[in-house]
Structure 1
Amino acid sequence: MADTAVLVIDMLNAYRHPDAEQLMNSVADIVEPLADLIHRGRDRGDVDVVYVNDNYGDFTGDWDDIVCTALDGARPDLVKPILPTADCLRLTKVRHSAFYATQLDYLLQQLKPARLLITGQVTEQCVLYTALDAYVRHYDVVVPPDAVAHIDAGLGEAALEMMRRNMRAELIPAAHCLPA
């Protein structure tokens, strides 16, 4: 069983929504450190990588549909580096928190990580709410600021500070989240 789980939240995005331009700019800044963190996590035996992605209201689609839609979207270059491999754990969600109405809580009970690295988008929305739900479930929360993307920079910074202060989240650069 892994001591750490990396949650990759909502990174499979077609970027066809009103605030997509601001989000794409932020994602462009985080995709490299996030991809490196995901790859390092996959290569280790003591880390579980779990993708949790919005289904964008398509209840007829499956995980492959989410991937195809993202790759056919406005910025496939932001999606390709972080694509899940066939052996990655994958869940869909419909609301902000990765825990809300998903199987994540049950999955983590089976995996038994002590620490959750929460990555992805959007810092001031889905990342924040997932961190809160992880904290109330007594997980050690780590958020790498260079592996989460925001829509509004000020709100993103405020969300990181809330996670640090109110949820005891460690804010650690992605390169230092998985020590050798």
Structure 2
Amino acid sequence: MLNTYQHLDADRLVPSVTEALDRALLGLVDLLGRARAASVPGIDANDNFGRWRSRHGEILDMALSGRHPELVEPLRPDDDSPFVVKARHSIFYETPLAYLLRGLDVDELVLTGQVIEQCVLYSAPDAHIRHLGVTVPRDAVAHIGENGRVSADAGPRL
């Protein structure tokens, strides 16, 4: 959810992120707060925006200095949660996430975030093929497509 909102689809994404943050029941902020209060392990996985030497704090600072820091601040990762840097859509693709989940004895994921047509779309089946249960709360994801529908052009651009 750490996003600079300086990309082609940003203007289409911002209203959905705003709505996901504002939802009262099972919205992103509520879900994150309840997970932290229940000591449920939270793992942040975020794009590196092509900056191969970036770390957690740098990615957070970059997002907070982007076009919409008000959409980043409520979801600021805490200091105790693991942070996985990813370069592609899936949170599993060439990241240490599967190893981390095994170490934490996690067998069920609640997958939230943006963009449902890309990152969530690729991460959910990657979790499933690793024999992890996957829940994607409708109120805790953001989309670019109209009404959250995955459009025909949602896949990778070759």
Task: State the TM-score, normalizing by the size of structure 1.
Answer: 0.78
CA distance, structure 2, for counterparts of residue 74 and residue 24 of structure 1: 10
Structure 2 partner of 1:16 = 6
2:84 corresponds to? 91
Q: Which amino acid aligns with 1:90?
A: F
Q: Call closer, same or farther: CA 1:114–1:60 in 2, change over 3 Å.
A: closer
Equivalent position to 1:44, from 35, 38, 51: 38
Structure 1 runs not aligned, ≥5 long? 1-10, 160-180
Partner of residue 163, structure 1: none
Please report how far the alpha carbon of residue 158 of structure 1 lies from its aligned counterpart in structure 2 after TM superposition: 4.2
Q: Matched residue of 1:92: which SS? A: strand
Matched, 1:157 2:149: yes
CA distance in 1: counterparts of 2:137 and 2:104, whole angstroms: 22
Paired position in structure 2 for 1:60: 53
Query: Quick one: distance in 2 between partners of 1:72 and 1:130?
Result: 27
- Percentage of pairs with the same residue: 46
Structure 1 residue 138 displacement after superposition = 1.1
Q: Distance in 1 between matches of 2:101 and 2:54?
A: 24
Query: How well do the aligned residues superpose, as a CA RMSD in angstroms?
Result: 1.3
Q: Comparing both structures, which one devotes a greater share of its residues to strand? A: 1
1:25 — aligned with what?
15
CA distance in 2, matches of 1:68, 1:29: 23
Q: Normalization by structure 2: what TM-score?
A: 0.89
Aligned to 1:110: 103
CA distance in 2, matches of 1:158, 1:102: 25
